[in-house]
Each structure stands twice: as C-alpha cells, then as structure tokens.
Amino acid sequence: MKPRAKSLILKPGKEKSLLRRHPWVFSGAIARVEGDPGIGETVRVIGSDGAFLALAAFSPQSQIRGRAWSWDAEEDIDPAFFRRRLQAALDYRTTMRIESDAVRLVHGESDGLPGLVVDRYGDHLVAQFSSAGVDAWREAIADALVELTGVPNIYERSDADVRGLEGLPERTGVLRGKAPPVPLAIHEHAIQIEVDIPGGHKTGFYLDQRDNRRRVYEAAQGMADADMLNCFCYTGAFSLAMLKGGAKSVLSIDSSGPALALARANVVRNGLDPSRAEWMEADVFKALRELRDQGKAYDLIVLDPPKFAPTPATVERATRAYKDINLLGLKMLKPGGLLFTYSCSGGVSPELFTKIVAGAASDAGVQARIEGRLAAGADHPVRLSFPEGEYLKGLVLRKI
C-alpha cells in the first residue's frame, strides 16, 4: 500500500496567510496531520478544499506547527535547495555598502530560511538554528556556508529560548573549523569593537544597530561640550560612538559587570580618553530615578533596552516599562537635546512604540518633535509578507 503523503490539512478559511506568502502555520489553523511526520520533516500544507499551498517544515511541539520553505509543489527540499537560498542571501548582501567586517548574512524568514540566523565576524561565522526545520538541515547548511563564503570557521549559538518552544535542546560550540578568540575585534565605521561570540548576547553583538550607532556618532559631532548618557550600554558601542564624535563626557549604565569590563577595554582599544567615560553597574530603572533626583541633565541620551516583550502576552507589561524609561529620559534631557530611544520587541509595533513614547512625553510635561525614525540595518531585511521581521524600531526626538 502506498503511504499517505505527509501533510498538514488546514481548517476552512485558514489558508489566507499562506496565500499572502506569510510563512507560518499556527496549530489552531490545522484540522489534522496526515502521514505521521517527524520533527523538522518537510510536509505539504493543503487547504480544506484539497488545494496545495506550500511545502513546510513540521514542528509538532511549537505553536507554529509549520514554517514554509516553498510555494512550489515541485521544488525539492534538499541540500541543493539550501545552497540556493544561502547563495541568494549572500548575493543580496553584496548590493549593500556596509562599513564593517561584521555583517548579518542570513536573516531568517526574510531570506527564505525560517529560524536561521548567520552573522559574519571577520574570519568567523556564527550560526543560530532556532526552528525545527533548519535544525534538521544543520549539517547541510554548515557545509554550504563554508563553501559559499570561503570562511572555514563556524560557531553555533543555538541557545535562544525559542528552541525550547520547538522541543529542541540548547546547543553551542564549534560547528566547523576552530573556535573564535575571546574577545574578537571587529571594525565598524571608524570604531573598533571587541566582542564575545561564545558568551555575548545574541550571536555575540548587536549588529542590527550599526547604522543607528553611526547616526549617534554624527549627532555627537554637532554638539560642543556635551554630556551624554547611554542606558543598557552592554559593551559600550553607543558610548564609543558618542566619545568618538566628541562628547565631553559619557555615563554608561548596564547591569552586567563583564559587559562593562569589555566596554572599558573598547575605550582603550580606540585610543579614547578614559577620563571622559564613566561606567555604572546598576539596574537602569533604579539608576535613572536616582540621577533624576540628583538633578542630572544630558545633551544626548540613548535608551536601548533588552526585549521587554518576548511574547504577545507580555506586551502590556512591556508598555509600562518602555513608558517608564522614556519618561525619565525625557525629564533629564536638556532643552534642545536629543533622545535616541529603541524597542526590539517584535510584539510592539512601530505605531504602538510611538504612542508609548508620546504618552511618556505627555506625563513628563515635555514637548518634543520627531527628527527621525530608526530601524535595523539593511542586512536585516524585512519582507512585506512577514511584518514580524520588523522587530527593531526607534525614534530620534529633540526636546523643545
């Protein structure tokens, strides 16, 4: 007897997002699963009318049960498929002018490879496999990356919390070649930055903020005798931009002692005057209140917090946190000063973030105008069919 095709059969009316080329199939959209597919296995997604919709990777433990690979029923999902998708992602990056040897080469769904992130740091690649589909093809993807990039060293950082939702264990370590040095130095515009690939956040660093750091640097160049504040500073990349731009002083706050130690080293590496940089290991919310009570004021402030809303259920709580720090930041901003404020929470839309910051300004009794809207760099693309890819958003505000 011929085995049944491994398929996800959708409920009536649940095919609309796939027809718009959105790659996710949620568990609630599925009427039944046929053929007993394994974790990460390729399945056919079929509408309630029997029409083919997509080929997808099956994830039985996730709320996102399927992630679409292709809308072509005849396409083979095999090593050659991943080589083609990776080549397309690499070719796209060659169209960009990126003044750095640290670049995002693959950005998940936006590059047609759901759950895969690949960053290049000089002679080392860092790969993160966060979905069952790409995890099942991990070895083939690693082989193709070495072949197509010519970079022999791949370090895996598959330790994001989302792997637990996929039923996958965390995994880190050398995938190909040799381990990266700790720290590893990269360059970005006119700045050198030491990063910790095995132990740092994400894949070791926040590459998505590259263009925004450049904008802070340019703003600092236009401010004479300015005092600046960098909150949630991590390893001090925004602080370096401020100091390199000519800030008189920069106070940088983070709760991580090791991150601040690397930030201090980055100041020395760039030949900047350490006496212009002050570091505070503290809870940022508490520190901002203390600085406000002390009457401190700054010409330029950066608020770049971690992801306050990792899931839709946490958006309400995140809204309060974003409003709190922006209210405090706006109060301490000098008239005419600039606030660079960000959210990296995918559940907080750009429109909602603007509304939150406007509410903070109103409660602070502050008038400000929007001088810019910020997003991730071009190597973190967003597909129209996948708006969730627009996770990083920000505003440049000038206090009136």
- Find the helix packing angle between 284-293 and 315-332, rounded to 10°: 30
User: d(Cα 314, Cα 308) in Å, to the nearest integer?
Assistant: 8
Catalytic residue set? 344
- Find the helix packing angle between 237-245 and 210-221, rounded to 10°: 30
* CB distance 36 to 18 below 8 Å: no
User: d(Cα 153, Cα 142) in Å, to the nearest integer?
Assistant: 10
φ/ψ (deg, to 5) at 42? -80, 130
| Count, residues in the chain | 400
Alpha helices in the chain (DSSP H): 16-19, 79-93, 132-136, 138-149, 162-165, 210-221, 237-245, 257-269, 284-293, 315-332, 350-364
Within 8 A by CB and 6+ apart from 141, the residues are: 82, 86, 116, 127, 129, 134
> Which two structure tokens, joined as six digits, stand for 29?
């959209």
- Whether the bond into 183 is cis, omega within 30 of 0: yes
Closest residue by Cα to residue 203 from 60, 110, 106, 328: 106
* CB distance 352 to 320 below 8 Å: no
The owner of tokens 């203390």 is: 290
* CB distance 340 to 396 below 8 Å: yes
The number of beta carbons lying within 10 Å of the beta carbon of residue 306 is: 12
